[in-house]
Each structure stands twice: as structure tokens, then as C-alpha cells.
Structure 1
Amino acid sequence: MTVALMWEARAVPGRGEELLAWARAQEPAIRPLRREVLRAPEDRVLVITWWDASYDAELPELPEPDGALVARAVHRWRFESVEERA
């Protein structure tokens, strides 16, 4: 089964590039199948990692960044793959 972990944070205004750099520098203890880092308006950063694991497996999560860097608590979601198309 493939599980995707999503981590999303919103930077303090004007600190989006710092948050993006911070997220890109995070290396999990175990390497995922795939990892993608995205950004959006309002200094938001999204990191998605894909894992060959069961839905409830213990997987390394990105930590919380320094509170001075983010405007609110990090949002986290976990999904299981049900279909893949090219």
C-alpha cells in the first residue's frame, strides 16, 4: 500500500522563502519513495511524502518549525492511495 503524508505551513508574512528553505533542508530518518515540496501564495509551503507502508505505520513526520517562522500551527494529513493514473 502507498501512504502519502502531507505537511503544510504558512510563514509569517515576508518569511516564505525562509520557510521554504527550512522545509527543503529537512531530511527524514528513513527515505520515502518520493518527496515533493510546493509553495503557494500567502507564504504557504506544502511537503508531500509517499511511503510503501500501511496506513497506520509509524513514519517520520516533518517537525514543527521555529514558532517565529510560522503564522499558525502546521497542518498534517495522511492519505492512502486508491488509484494511480499517468
Structure 2
Amino acid sequence: MTVALMWEARAADGRGDELLAWARAQVLAGEPVRRESFRAPQDRVLVLTWWDTSYDADLPEIPEPAPELVTRPVHRWRFESVGLG
């Protein structure tokens, strides 16, 4: 089974590049099958990691950044793949 973890944060004004660099520099305790980072308007940063494991497995996650770097707590979701298409 493939499980995807989603981590999304909104940077403080003008700090989007800094938040993106911070998120990309985070080292996880395990190695995901795939890891990809995204950015969006309003200094939003999204990181997706894919894992070959069960839905309820204990997986390493990117931590919360320093409070002054973000405008709100990080949003996190876990998804189970249902295939392509």
C-alpha cells in the first residue's frame, strides 16, 4: 500500500523562500519512496512524501517551523493511494 503524507504551511509575509528552504532542509528519520516540495501564492509551502507501508504506520513527519516563520500552525493530512486514474 502507498501512503502519502501532506505538510502545508503559510509563511509570514515575505518569508516564503525562507520557509521553503527550511522545509527542504528537514531530514526525516526514514527515507520515503518519493518527496516533493511545492510553492503557491501567499507564500504557501507544500511537501508531499510517499511511503510503502500501511495507513496507520508510524511515519516521520516534518516538524513545526519556528513560530515567527509562519502565520498559523502547519496543516497535515494522510492519504491512502487508490491507484492511478
Normalised-by-shorter TM-score class: over 0.9
- Cα offset, 1:65, TM superposition: 0.1
Partners of 1:51 and 1:6 in 2: CA distance: 12
Ranges in structure 1 where 5+ consecutive residues have no aligned partner? none
TM-score (normalizing by structure 1): 0.97
CA offsets 1:1-52 (integer angstroms, 9 cap, x no match):
0000000000001000000000010110100000000000000000000000
Give yes or no for the alignment of 1:81 onto 2:70: no
Ranges in structure 2 where 5+ consecutive residues have no aligned partner? none
Q: Which runs of 4+ in 1 moved over 6 A?
A: none
| 2:28 aligned residue | 28
Partners of 1:76 and 1:15 in 2: CA distance: 20
CA offsets 1:62-84 (integer angstroms, 9 cap, x no match):
00000000000100000000012
TM-score (normalizing by structure 2): 0.98
Give the number of equivalent residue pairs: 85
**CA-based RMSD:** 0.6
Give yes or no for the alignment of 1:72 onto 2:72: yes
Partners of 1:49 and 1:62 in 2: CA distance: 10
